[in-house]
Every structure is written in C-alpha cells, then in structure tokens.
Amino acid sequence: MTVAPAPFTTDDFRTRMERAVEDAVAEGLDGLLVTPGPDLLWLTGYSPTAITERLTLLVLSTDAEPRMLVPTLERPDLDSAVGASALSISDWRDGQDPYDVAAELLRPGAQYAVSDSTWAMHLLGLQRRVAGTRYYAITERLPMLRAVKDANELARLEAAGAAADAAFEEILNVSFAGRREADVAADLARLLRDFGHEQVDFTIVASGPNGANPHHEAGERTIAEGDMVVMDFGGLMHGYGSDTTRTVAVGEPSAQMREVHDIVRAAQEAAFEAVQPGVACQEIDRVARGVITDAGHGDDFIHRTGHGIGMTTHEPPYMVEGEERPMVPGMCFSIEPGIYLAGRFGVRIEDIVTVTENGGRRLNNTTRELVVVE
C-alpha cells in the first residue's frame, strides 16, 4: 500500500505565489492574472466546483499582497481552501458588473501574464475597464511557472508512475487475441483505479494498423495474433499525472516488428542518457530523432519526443526542436519516441523522467524489451 504524500500547506502556496511574482518581474511584467484551471489550483489550492461564466480572478502583482475576486455564492468554497489564508479576498454578487469590481485590483497601463484558461469574455471585459493594460499568455511569457517540481510534487509523480507501472504488469496477464481494443482499454482503466488513481484520463490501445495513429481511440477492432499493440495510458493520482507507453506483440512478432521495436528502444535510451542539467530541452528530441533517422525511419517519427507533466498531462517544457530552455533539476517530462508505419503497425515507448543534479531518473521502470502476450 502506498503512503499518501503530505498535504500542501499555506506556506507552500504562499511560496509559489511569491515565486510567480518574482518570475513575472524578471520578465518585465507587473504581475499575473489567474482564472480557474491548473495554474489557480497550483498557486492557491483552490479549484471551483464548476467553472462558469462568473468571474473568479487571482491577482498577483508587485504592488500588493495576493488578492482573489470570487463570486459571493462560491466564497464558502474558497474560504475552505488551504491557500485562502494567504489571500486578501473580495467578492461580487450577481447583478454587479464583475469587471468594475476587478478593475479596482488592477493598475492602468500595467502588463500582466494571464492564465491560458481565461475565458475571452473575461479578458475582453478587463480590457474595456482598465485603460492601457496589456496581457500575455502565461505559456508565452512564463512557460516554466509550474515546470520545476518540489519534493512533494516529485513524490506524487513518482507514486503515479509506480501505479501506472503496476497496471502495465497486470495487463500482461489478460488475453489480448480475440478481444476488442475497447475491452483491453477498460481493463487498463480499472487497473489504474485499483492501484490508486482517482482519475483516468486516457487509455490508448492501438492494435495492428491502428498503431500507426499515435492518438488512436480504442475501438471495436478485434486484436489478432500477429498484431503489435501500442498501449498509452495515464491519469491523476494525488492530483499529479501518470503517462506511460509500452508496445507488446500478440504472438511471435515478425523480424521487422522486432527491428522497429529495437530502434525505438535504442532511441528512447539514448534520449534518456542525454538528460543533464543545463542541456537544452531540444537536445532530447535531436538525440532520439537522430537514432531513428540513422536507422532509416526519420519520416516515420511524426511527433515531438516529449512533454512536461505535473497537474496536467501536457505542460511545458516540451522536448522539441526550437525549445532552447535548459533542463534544470526538478523538471519532469516524457521521453516517447515512436515509429509509425501506415497500414501496418506502430511502436512507441514512453517513460516519465525527472532531471536530477547528475542526470535523469525514470519514474517508469517496467521493461522496455518487447513483451510477447497471448
């Protein structure tokens, strides 16, 4: 039985908000405006029970303590959040113009980073009320806001990864041949929950030619002897994500299938070995892509090598050409090269990796060898 990680504290949220302001200042901004979504949850511990048309707004700036504007009917939920005691809270009632109330918290002419999940109607309302303000997407100006995880966050990601590994080990004991992709996907979802996930986000099961589609939705196709099956699955555990991929063979694989799997495994291993503090994120993509290209399958690797993970499955940093930001200890991301042969099969191998002072550490540790199942 896994031990639940320690809960986040008011001090944790206060430290995050202080760091966010410091990062904003370093980027030449005056602060951040954060609406419901993963950024708000990470900064305050508060997630509204429903994200509605009513404006909820966290204002972090250099000239005032953290302030939160919330609809009056939702204030009891905010008051019970762990991070609420670090906030100055005001509310607005139905019938009021929330943008008039919010305008009192903003500074004319200021520049703010805005959470990506902000509704357009809210941003336009603020623009109308506060003269001369300028707004930028957080992922544009502060993409690393949540990228570097602390020890508590790493423990949650590690637990989620171990649970996903346990689900993979168990799925190897079920029958594949003669069953639908959807049946195996349902088994995976059940196993993720059995091993502690509170939420299952995806269970890709792509057999035979469907494996050449990286985001194939598990469907009615019956898995057959001689298929390769790509399984990519994950969800949330203790609020943090898992995401792993393994490709198995149903019955004895062909020589080509073994060869392609070996190439992908070598690319994944080479990319993992390239993880080091100070190395640009794009180097992970270059290394994995180089192995696959040298093996003659460059055109068959059709996506980036990885993505960050935390409270959401996909978040910065991205392991892709053009991402020049250096890796730093505490970053967590996937390494998932693949080869996709249209009309035949696909192979992908994915681990979540965290950067340490000395290199990388995998949070997924099931075998990367080709497993043969029945």
Classify residue 245: in a domain, yes or no. yes
Q: By mean pLDDT, which of 4-8, 21-25, 94-98, 324-328 is the weakest?
A: 4-8
pLDDT at 271 over 70: yes
**Residues 163 and 131 placed together within one structural domain of the fold:** no
Q: Measured between alpha carbons, how far is 55 from 120 in angstroms, rounded to an integer?
A: 11
Out of 141, 167, 198, a domain closes at: 141
Residue 63's pLDDT is what?
87
pLDDT of 36 above 80: yes
Same structural domain for residues 172 and 87?
A: no
Give the three-class secondary structure for 16.
Answer: helix
CA dist 250 and 185 (Å) reads 16
List pLDDT tens digits, range 81-120. Answer: 999 999 999 999 999 999 999 999 999 999 999 999 899 9
When pLDDT is averaged across residues 272-297 and rounded to a whole number, the result is 98
Is the same domain home to 41 and 156?
Answer: no
Query: Which residues share a beta bridge with 355?
Result: 360
Query: What pLDDT was estimated at residue 117?
Result: 86
Structural domain includes residue 351:
yes
Is residue 2 situated within a structural domain? no
Mean pLDDT of the region 254-282: 98
Confidence (pTM): 0.95
pLDDT for position 61? 95
The answer on 167 and 53 residing in a single domain is no
Name the pairing type of β-strands 64-71 and 88-92. parallel
* CA nearest neighbour of 137 among 54, 279, 32: 32
Same domain, 99 and 242: no
Give the mean pLDDT of 54-62.
95
pLDDT in tens, 170-211: 999 999 999 999 999 999 999 999 999 999 999 999 999 999
| CATH number of the domain where residue 27 is located | 3.40.350.10
**CA dihedral (48, 51, 54, 56) positive or negative:** positive
Rounded CA gap, 129 and 295, in Å?
Answer: 58
Pair 178, 317 in one domain: yes
Q: Among residues 141, 163, 193, which one ends one of the domains?
A: 141
CATH number for the domain harbouring residue 337: 3.90.230.10
Q: Give a yes or no: residue 34 inside a domain.
A: yes
197 falls within a domain:
yes
293 part of a folded domain? yes
Average pLDDT, rounded, for the chain: 96
Q: From CA 316, how far away is CA 309, in angstroms rounded? A: 8
Number of structural domains the chain divides into: 2
pLDDT of residue 161: 98
Note the pLDDT tens digit of each residue in 296-347. Answer: 999 999 999 999 999 999 999 999 999 999 999 999 999 999 999 999 999 9
Assess whether pLDDT exceeds 70 at residue 1.
no
Residue 168 lies in a domain: yes
Determine the 3-state secondary structure of 201 from DSSP.
Answer: strand
Going through 73-110 in order, the beta strands assigned E by DSSP cover 88-92
**Residue 361 is encoded by which pair of tokens?**
């550490």
- Residue 276 predicted with pLDDT over 90: yes
Same domain flag for 120 and 172: no
Answer yes or no: do 218 and 302 share one domain. Answer: yes
165 and 299 fall within a common domain: yes
Provide the pLDDT confidence category of residue 2 given band limits of 50, 70 and 90.
low
- Same domain for 327 and 294: yes
4 inside domain: no
Residue 70 has pLDDT above 60, yes or no: yes
Q: Are residues 94 and 25 in the same domain?
A: yes
Asked which of 83, 117, 141 is the last residue of a domain, the reply is 141
Give the range of the structural domain holding residue 190, as residue numbers without chain letter. Answer: 151-373
Looking at the structure, do residues 158 and 59 belong to the same domain, yes or no?
no
4 confidence band (pLDDT: 50, 70, 90): confident
User: Any residues with CB less than 8 A from the CB of 144 and at least 6 apart, and which?
Assistant: 23, 316, 317, 325
pLDDT tens digit sequence for 229-239:
999 999 999 99
Q: 352 pLDDT band (50/70/90 cuts)?
A: very high
Q: Distance between CA atoms of 47 and 77, rounded to whole angstroms?
A: 9
Residue 67 confidence (pLDDT) above 80:
yes
